[in-house]
Amino acid sequence: MSDSPDVPAGAGPATEDFYCDEALSGRTAVDVVVETDTVLAFHHTHPFWPVHIVVVPKQHVPSLIDLGGGDMSAVHDVLSVVRHVARQVAADHGACRVLTNLGDYQDSKHLHFHVNYGEPLRD
C-alpha cells in the first residue's frame, strides 16, 4: 500500500486527508505548479511516475462521487486546472494520463487528480 500512487510521502496512517492536513495547511511544503483562488496543483511529494502532478480543490471535497454536500463548481474549477496542467504535460512529453481514485483505491479522502507521464518508478 505504501507504494501505491495514492500515498503521499510523509503521510503515514496518521492522516486520512493529506491535502487538508499537510499540503493546504502548509505543514508539508509543496512545489506548486499552478495556484488559483480555489485550486492547488503541485508536484507529488513522493512521485510514482517521472512526471506526477496532483491537482486538488482548496475547499474540502471528499471525492469525485461524494461532493460532501457541495456543488459541481469545485469540480469544474479543479478540472479547469487539470486541463491546463495536462495540456502542458502532453505538449512537453507527447503523452499524459489523468486519474482519480475512489473507494478503497482512494487513500487520501480529499478529491484529487493525478496528472502523470511515464512508466511507474516502483512496482
| Using rule CB under 5 A, residue 67 touches Zn ion | no
- Identity of the residue, 62 or 118, whose beta carbon is nearer to Zn ion in the bound complex: 62
What's the closest the beta carbon of residue 92 comes to Zn ion, in angstroms? 29
| Using rule CB under 5 A, residue 52 touches Zn ion | no
| Calpha distance 104→12 (Å, rounded) | 16
Q: In angstroms, what CA-CA distances link 19 with 13, 61, 72, 117, 123?
A: 14, 10, 19, 22, 24
- Identity of the residue, 52 or 110, whose beta carbon is nearer to Zn ion in the bound complex: 110
Which of residues 58, 110, 112, 114 is near Zn ion by CB under 5 A? Answer: 110
Residues near Zn ion (CB under 5 A) are: 17, 19-20, 60, 110
